[in-house]
């Protein structure tokens, strides 16, 4: 009896692995009047969302670690410019695949939705769970970095923010004096990262009020941070010392690979554009512009900033959370360091906004398919935003940012994102094979070569991450699989529509 029950459920589980959702049904569900998002975004909005998501914590914070290295890996040195080119090529291959899907299946689920249409429900669930690493966990890293630059910015005005209110638990444990100076409740020190929590809560409110308001807020911030980076490049050019470019690649190709794996965190914002497909007026035309345009522009900005930064200061001295500000202080330009710190705060805010816009929309799509509780799919009657999912995602990020460190969250985010990129590239190949006659708005060129190269480059970057990232990623996926078995597998809307499935 138990054997029959087990085998029946095993067969049902196996079927769920291959059960796919038709593209037509995906689009039809997105047009449900009760759960319809408002289409208000144009190509410029999407381009600026991409810039807002890409140019942020990576160029203002992690660029230093990528150049100098840390305890876990070697740095690229001035050859970080090659790391950036390597990463941008990998992202270009993946970006072309994203552009095809986002224009053909214009809904808010991003890689989750694409996997559901091509690889099956279980893989779709795993990639949806995986995307939580990219957006929510990635935003925890960005929020922590935002807090560091905010505190640094206050110091330019001789304002010292209490350390016990701007630090993670790991750092506090390593420095007992922080906990000793903190207020205590029932003998427990009150230590958490208050600035990181504040900015996440503030942006959650903005995102709840509407995507158009969020887009305008993002455009303003993008113009400010680009102006600051232009200022850094122009001023920094006068302080370049050619000797700092020697040796160009101190750790050889291994350092370049490691630098590419780290700096990859700076590029992942371009795919967040795809989560806004359901709120775009003409996604077939505008999605490729937003995704590929922002990726290309950001690459040029990164190369300019890296060239100037590694010329201003020896790469070995760049392992700091605020490398651009530190470079300005090294050349005795303290007033300029304050401007750069302000620009970083704005840049981080834009990245937080874009990522916080993306995560709830993936929750929204998963809930619409029955794989998450239906409350995640509720749309605000006035603002037309997935407000429940937005609030829950904001609470998760705020809680994580209160106690976490930057590097651990960034590595976990990178491996999760690279896995998602692999799935998107494979999905293009599979859907092209399954439905060769489907009309595609934007076609990825040179198929199957571009998707295959995207997969190869992503695995190459994964190999540059610390081994501990693999363990954490495996445990994360295991937890996600258990949640699918106990909830998603039983509640799946697609399963309920097939009555003969167990």
DSSP 25-42: HHHHHHT-GGGPPP--B-
Average pLDDT of 151-159?
79
pLDDT band at 207 (very low <50, low <70, confident <90, very high): very high
Average pLDDT of 49-62?
82
Question: Which tokens belong to 170?
Answer: 């790991």
Percent of the chain with pLDDT over 70: 89
Task: Evaluate if residue 70 carries a pLDDT over 80.
Answer: no
> Residue ranges per domain, the chain?
31-496
pLDDT for 502 equals 45
Quote the CA–CA distance of 424 and 279 in Å, as a whole number.
Answer: 21
- Predicted TM-score (pTM) of the model is 0.85
Among 81-95, 302-316, 459-473, where is mean pLDDT lowest? Answer: 459-473
Average pLDDT of 388-409?
82
pLDDT band at 499 (very low <50, low <70, confident <90, very high): low
Average pLDDT of 44-66?
85
Residues 492 and 368 sit within 8 Å (Cβ to Cβ) = no
Strand locations in 341-392 (E): none
Q: What is the pLDDT of residues 7-37, one digit of tens each?
A: 555 555 566 567 888 888 888 887 765 667 8
Q: What is the pLDDT of residues 327-383, one digit of tens each?
A: 998 888 888 888 888 888 898 898 889 888 888 988 898 998 999 999 998 998 888
Q: What's the longest Cα–Cα distance across the chain?
A: 80
With tokens 């994102």, the residue in question is 417
105 φ, ψ to 5°? -120, 80
329 φ, ψ to 5°? -75, -35
Run of H or E residues at 407:
helix 406-434
pLDDT for 79 equals 94
How far is C-alpha 371 from the chain's CA centre? 22
Q: What is the pLDDT of residues 251-300, one digit of tens each?
A: 898 899 888 888 887 787 788 888 888 889 898 889 999 999 999 999 99
What superfamily would CATH give domain 31-496? Amino acid/polyamine transporter I (1.20.1740.10)
Give how far Cα 443 sits from Cα of 230, 281, 345, 366, Å.
35, 20, 37, 26
Average pLDDT of 130-150?
81
Quote the CA–CA distance of 77 and 250 in Å, as a whole number.
Answer: 6
Helix (H, G, I), strand (E, B) or coil at 121: helix
What average pLDDT does the chain have? 84
Average pLDDT of 94-119?
86
């Amino acid at each position: 009896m138990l054997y029959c029950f087990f085998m029946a459920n095993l067969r049902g589980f196996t079927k769920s692995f291959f059960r796919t959702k038709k593209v037509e049904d995906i689009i039809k569900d997105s047009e449900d009047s009760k759960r319809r998002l408002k289409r208000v975004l144009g190509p410029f909005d999407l381009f600026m969302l991409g810039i807002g998501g890409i140019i942020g914590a990576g160029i203002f914070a992690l660029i230093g670690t990528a150049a100098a290295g840390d305890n876990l890996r070697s740095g690229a040195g001035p050859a970080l410019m090659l790391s950036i080119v390597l990463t941008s090529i990998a992202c270009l291959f993946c970006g072309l695949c994203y552009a095809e899907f986002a224009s053909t299946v214009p809904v808010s689920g991003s890689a989750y939705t694409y996997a559901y249409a091509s690889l099956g429900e279980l893989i779709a669930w795993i990639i949806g769970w995986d995307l939580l690493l990219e957006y929510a966990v990635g935003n925890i890293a960005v929020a922590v970095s935002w807090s560091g630059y905010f505190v640094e910015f206050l110091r330019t005005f001789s304002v010292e923010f209490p350390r016990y209110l701007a630090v993670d638990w790991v750092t506090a444990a390593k420095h007992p004096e922080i906990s000793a100076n903190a207020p205590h409740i029932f003998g427990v020190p009150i230590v958490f990262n208050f600035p990181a929590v504040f900015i996440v809560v503030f942006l959650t409110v903005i995102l709840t009020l509407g995507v158009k308001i969020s887009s305008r807020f993002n455009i303003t911030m993008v113009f400010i941070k680009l102006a600051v980076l232009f200022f850094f490049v122009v001023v920094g050019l006068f302080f370049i010392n050619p000797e700092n470019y020697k040796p160009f690649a101190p750790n050889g190709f291994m350092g370049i690979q490691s630098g590419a794996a780290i700096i990859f965190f700076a590029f992942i914002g371009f795919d967040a554009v795809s989560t806004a497909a359901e709120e775009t007026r003409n996604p077939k035309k505008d999605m490729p512009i937003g995704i590929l345009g922002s990726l290309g522009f950001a690459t040029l900005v990164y190369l300019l900033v890296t060239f100037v930064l590694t010329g201003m200061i020896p790469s070995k001295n760049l392992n700091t959370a605020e490398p651009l500000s530190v470079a300005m202080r090294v050349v005795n330009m303290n007033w300029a360091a304050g401007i750069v710190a302000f620009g970083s705060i704005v840049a981080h805010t834009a990245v937080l906004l874009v990522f916080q816009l993306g995560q709830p929309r993936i929750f929204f799509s998963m809930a619409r398919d029955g794989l998450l509780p239906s409350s995640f799919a509720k749309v605000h009657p006035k603002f037309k935003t997935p407000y429940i999912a937005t609030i829950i995602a904001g609470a998760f990020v705020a809680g994580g940012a209160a106690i976490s460190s930057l590097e651990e969250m960034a590595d976990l985010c990178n491996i999760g994102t690279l896995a998602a990129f692999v799935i998107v590239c494979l999905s293009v190949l599979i859907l092209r094979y399954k439905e060769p006659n489907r009309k595609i708005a934007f076609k990825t060129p040179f198929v199957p070569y571009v998707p295959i190269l995207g997969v190869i480059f992503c695995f190459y970057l994964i190999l540059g991450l610390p081994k501990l990232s693999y363990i954490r990623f495996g445990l994360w996926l295991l937890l996600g699989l258990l949640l699918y078995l106990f909830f998603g597998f039983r509640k799946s809307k697609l399963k309920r529509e097939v009555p003969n499935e167990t």
